[in-house]
Chain A
Amino acid sequence: EAQVTQNPRYLITVTGKKLTVTCSQNMNHEYMSWYRQDPGLGLRQIYYSMNVEVTDKGDVPEGYKVSRKEKRNFPLILESPSPNQTSLYFCASSSLSNEQYFGPGTRLTVT
């Protein structure tokens, strides 16, 4: 089954404790993205990657890092999380000429 998976689905952590949210897709897609969803703001893109070792900033990249060492994986790293990064995070992937497929989401709470 074609899918985008994210782990963990739920995470509660404390300010400053580094964390990684993993994202994996099994569709051999070139493009992968991370979004955050906040009430009243919709979805905003954090980072995206057009292929292995090629990443670029989206609209709200501050406080986040990404890497794309393999085509299927695109982890999101928060090196020093802060409470304003409490949000619902979605990973997405797409091929060159197709729509984006979204993962189920990761709900992060930073206290």
Chain B
Amino acid sequence: GDSVTQMEGPVTLSEEAFLTINCTYTATGYPSLFWYVQYPGEGLQLLLKATKADDKGSNKGFEATYRKETTSFHLEKGSVQVSDSAVYFCALSDRGYSTLTFGKGTMLLVSP
């Protein structure tokens, strides 16, 4: 079955540091890939997505590239802010957007 593996957290960074959160997946077929963000006490919000190989999703300074050859979708940001502190979930969908398979989430803590 489908699965998503992402690096365990927490990831602790200082403000303006470079961020990478690794995500790899296993799926039959050609899934769409997503990063969702969950701020404290809130629901999940879509951060970015990519629907086919070599697509790059980007939003709010975050980027991720769909790498079919390495089955990866790593999240990156060049300069994190304290307000980026949240839990980040990598997810895939290969049966339409109605069903998502999530990774376990990675907590990011950014200090001033």
Interface, chain A (partner B; CB < 8 A): 4, 30-31, 33, 35, 40-45, 48, 50, 58, 90, 92, 94-105
Q: CA A10 – CA B111 in complex, angstroms? A: 30
Question: Do the beta carbons of A33 and B98 come within 8 Å of each other?
Answer: yes
Chain B residues within an 8 Å CB radius of A31: 96-98
- Cα distance, A4 to B98, chains bound together (Å): 15
CB distance A58 to B99 under 8 Å?
yes
Residues in A whose Cβ lies below 8 Å from that of B42: 104-105
Q: A102-B43, A104-B42 are in contact. Are A33 and B49 (CB under 8 A)?
A: no
Interface residue SS majority, chain B: loop
| Contact residues of B between 78 and 112, Cβ < 8 Å to A | 89, 96-100, 102-105
Q: A45, A97, A104, A105: which contacts B100 (Cβ < 8 A)?
A: A45
- Chain B contacts with A in 8-60, Cβ cutoff 8 A: 34, 36, 42-46, 49
* Chain A positions within 8 Å of B44 at CB level: 43, 90, 92, 102
A44 CA to B93 CA in the complex, in Å?
Answer: 13
- Complex Cα distance, B44 from A4, in Å, reads 11
Contacting pair A100 B104 (CB below 8 A): no
* A–B complex contacts, Cβ < 8 Å, 17 sampled: A4-B43, A31-B98, A33-B99, A42-B103, A43-B100, A43-B105, A44-B102, A45-B100, A50-B98, A90-B44, A94-B97, A94-B98, A99-B46, A99-B49, A100-B97, A104-B42, A105-B42
